[in-house]
Amino acid sequence: MAEDPFADKTQLEKILDERAKQFRNVSHVVEDIDNSLKYKIAQAVQKKTGKNVPDYDLIEDDTELQREIKSIIEDVYSLDYELSPLKDAVDKGKIDEPSLKLIRNIYAGHKNDVLRAVGTPRFRTKLNSIHNTNLEEVQKKLITVASDGYSPSLHGDIAYEFFKDKYKFKEEKVDKDLLKRQMPSAIGAYVQGVAREDIFYDIAPKLGKPESEPKKK
């Protein structure tokens, strides 16, 4: 039987720290892959024009250059490519198997989007937009995966106590049952490195007016 990733507070912190590490590592690798592609495309355009500053407008009318750029895209986005930042990260143990599978699934569609953009107007702008969208999609998937194995009924109390102890939020301002149900949002914030006390008041606010202080005589 597989180990329960949210069995106790110590185990929970260990698991969430590992998933936060994967979030950072995968995000960096995705950025490195896309930056590698941009660099190689710029080199190809510069070589074609003989200028230090690449003229990306040239791509639109140069079918030979388009073929070269598409070949570069195929190489860089082949995740088995010897010089791929992903291969380097996997070899160094920075990327685990579930994260690798996630990247492979997303990059299949991402590569096709980039290939379709080659030869169209404003290629560089489109390339930047596609890269930004891809990074956002990867990060959203990682945030979703970070809550895998969590059950409000089984782990809600453990997770509540963990976050309460870590961020010292005021219990009178947090709806405990709601937070247990919305815990994937808290886990997502933790994994992204943006969790703080007031986030819990937004995720699970306790509704109703606080009791008024007794009037002084």
Q: Compute the distance between CA of residue 200 and CA of residue 95 in angstroms, rounded to an integer.
A: 30
> In the listed set 146, 179, 211, which residue is the last one of a domain according to the structure?
146
Residue 214 domain flag: no
User: pLDDT value at position 217?
Assistant: 47
Domains: count for the chain: 2
> Is residue 164 a contact partner of residue 197, using CB atoms and an 8 Å limit?
no
Question: Does 3 map to a domain?
Answer: no
| pLDDT score, position 53 | 83
Per run of 10 residues, the mean pLDDT along the chain (length 217 residues) is 76 92 92 93 92 88 96 85 78 85 85 95 95 93 92 95 96 97 97 96 84 50
Residues 27 and 111 in one domain: yes
In a domain, 76, yes or no: yes
Same domain? 89 vs 160: no
Smallest Cα–Cα separation from 201: which of 213, 186, 181?
Answer: 186
Mark whether 141 and 156 lie in a shared domain: no
Q: Identify whether residues 135 and 163 lie together within a single domain.
A: no
Look up the domain containing 71 and give its range.
Answer: 20-146
Q: How many CA atoms lie within 13 Å of 214's alpha carbon, on the beta-carbon side?
A: 2
Looking at residue 209, its pLDDT comes to: 55
For residue 217, tell me if it sits in a domain. no
